[in-house]
Amino acid sequence: LHLHSLDFHLAPWLDLGIFESVVYGGRFELLYFIPMVAYFNSQGMTGFSDNSLVGLNGRVSPTPGLDLKGVLYVDDISFNDMASGNFDTKYKVAVQVGASLSPASILDSVAPGAMPWVQRHFIRLVSVDYTAVTPYTFTHENTADGPYNWESYTHAGQSFGPALAPNSDRVAVRALVR
């Protein structure tokens, strides 16, 4: 698995990034060690026998103490179908969106120093996120390599991505209390 990313800190309240990965095996591929090269184009030089994925991530903090985050990871989409208006096609994507809220930070930004009890507040952080993995995401098969499936997005049976099977989703709520 090779992965590279390019992240931009555009403002104190805004971060955006793009990342790309490629899964391959059975050989040592020097093309994937070149920094900031598009893996999809590089795998074209090897006969498209590998599995490349691309993703976007972002964070927005509209007010102190509130973070909104998201990640979109695209394994495979049928670009030609989508470009022709056929949206009933294969989508192999994973997405995660979430929000984190720190009540103490928000109250302190509204009235700094006016509420000393905020420092002793019971709830320090609350976060909620939703993760979804569409059917067949992270599943690839290349039978040309014999019994080894180099293209699956796993190691020893565990996914490199979220700990969710394809065609599943999860809502997680977490709280940090003191």
Q: How many residues does the chain have?
A: 178
Give 156's Cβ-side CA count (13 Å radius): 0
- The amino acid present at 2, given as its one-letter code, is H
Highest mean pLDDT among 16-20, 27-31, 153-157: 16-20
Q: What is the pTM of this model?
A: 0.79
pLDDT digits (tens, 9 = 90+) for 123-151: 788 999 999 998 877 777 665 655 666 66
Q: What is the pLDDT of residue 173?
A: 96
User: Beta strand pairing status for 123-133 and 154-155?
Assistant: unpaired
Q: What is the pLDDT of residue 17?
A: 96
Please, which contacts does 25-29 make with residues 24 or more away whose CB atoms are closer than 8 Å? 25/145, 25/148, 25/150, 25/151, 26/145, 26/148, 26/150
Q: What is the pLDDT of residue 106?
A: 63
Name, in order, each residue with C-beta under 8 angstroms of 126's C-beta and a sequence gap of 6 or more. 100, 101, 103, 173, 174, 175, 176
Mean pLDDT of 166-173: 92
Q: What is the pLDDT of residue 9?
A: 97
What are the start-end ranges of the E strands in the chain?
2-11, 14-23, 51-63, 66-77, 91-101, 123-133, 154-155, 158-159, 168-177
Angle at 85 between CA 79 and CA 89, to 5 degrees: 55
Beta bridge partners of 164: none
Report percent pLDDT > 70 for the chain.
Answer: 80
pLDDT digits (tens, 9 = 90+) for 34-49: 877 777 677 677 676 7
